[in-house]
Amino acid sequence: GHHIDMCDSFAGKRITMIGGEHIFRLHIHLLQHRERAEKKLFPCPYHEFCTHHQICLPYQQSEDVALPPRYIKPPTTQELVETESAVVKYIVSDTLLSALNESSWEYTLPYVDPMTGIRLRETYWLAAARKANVVILGRGPLSAPGQ
């Protein structure tokens, strides 16, 4: 069968992955796959601080690794198209809560699930989703406290 490279499908696109722990792990899994393919590291500082990862860059175009990713501004759409690369970004949202704007109390105050007593991590993601070409949403099973 014809082998289709992931990068052919992703060229020029912004891929935004939104959800709980399982989506964070899916984004890490994707990055590890690209690490093997591109022979370079895509470190992610952690859930709340994932900014962006530029994957599928042609070899000579690798960004300067001296700067931590959060200090590198994301590539423009034109840069993505020209280099046939893609940007992957993870946004933490345990329940996919989509309140109207980022100042809604659910995003600013500690928010606890009344059923489980677990503190939920919610981030405003609607604006980022609107800018993305591919959006992966995952609302996972919530784990019990202490897991």
Quick one: pLDDT at residue 146?
Answer: 47
Here the contacts of 135-138 (C-beta below 8 Å, separation 24 or greater) are 135/15, 135/16, 135/17, 135/18, 136/15, 136/16, 136/17, 136/18, 136/19, 136/23, 136/26, 137/18, 137/19, 137/23, 137/96, 138/17, 138/18, 138/19, 138/20, 138/22, 138/23, 138/26, 138/96
Total Cβ atoms within 10 A of residue 89:
20
User: pLDDT tens digits for 55-93?
Assistant: 999 875 555 555 555 567 889 999 999 999 999 999 999
Q: What is the pLDDT of residues 88-120, one digit of tens each?
A: 999 999 989 888 888 988 888 888 888 888 888
How many Å apart are CA 67 and CA 2, to the nearest integer?
38
Whether pTM > 0.85 for this model: the answer is no
Q: What residues contact residue 19 under an 8 Å CB cut-off, 6+ apart?
A: 92, 93, 94, 96, 136, 137, 138, 139, 140
